[in-house]
Amino acid sequence: MSLAPSSLMVRKEAPAPLEERARQREVKEQEKDKRVASIEELTIQGGLSKEAVLQALEKNLPELQKCMIGNGPGEKLVLQLVVGPDGKIKNVKVVGNGLNKGGAEPCMLEKIKGWQLPVPQDAKEATVTLFLMLSVSKAAKG
């Protein structure tokens, strides 16, 4: 047996940069409190059925939740969507209110641009004004 001390190397991971730690905290908070966007009001100009548009929008709303980290309940966002004759979103812009935390709006606008809505009945462009409300749904503790 050797009396020389054995050298055990313990590796410590370098602390995460402050931004990364802050992001991890936000993700953990969002896991507890799920941000949910709901449609408060919907107005349509053009040959689209309100019911069909509402159904298509509600199907896509969960995509927006990833954009909402850091924004609190009660915040509103008013968007105007220009729908082409083929049902594709040609343009989307913020026309009222807005979310407090920086990256949410650009993220949401980018996602919405890829959505497909019903084809307008008159084969012309239509305009949809969408009033979104952000709420928080508490996750059940288990």
pLDDT the model gives residue 13: 57
Whole-angstrom CA distances from 114 to 13, 52, 107, 108 are 40, 17, 12, 10
Domain boundaries, the chain: 45-135
Whole-angstrom CA distances from 23 to 17, 80, 94, 95 are 10, 30, 25, 29
pLDDT the model gives residue 141: 42
String of DSSP letters for 31-79: HHEEEEEEEEEEEEESS--HHHHHHHHHHHGGGGGGG-TTPPTT-EEEE
For the chain of 142 residues, list the mean pLDDT of each consecutive stretch of 10: 56 64 68 73 94 93 78 80 95 81 80 93 94 71 40
Q: Do residues 129 and 78 lie in contact, with contact meaning Cβ atoms separated by under 8 Å?
A: yes
Please choose, from the candidates 73, 93, 79, the residue with its C-alpha nearest in 3D space to the C-alpha of residue 133.
73
Architecture of the CATH domain 45-135: 2-Layer Sandwich (3.30)
pLDDT the model gives residue 63: 86
Q: Do residues 80 and 126 lie in contact, with contact meaning Cβ atoms separated by under 8 Å?
A: no
pLDDT the model gives residue 1: 54
Residue 112, classed as helix, strand or coil, is helix
Cβ count within 10 A of residue 13? 5
Residue 18, token pair as written in the block: 């402050």
pLDDT the model gives residue 7: 54
pTM recorded for the entire structure: 0.68
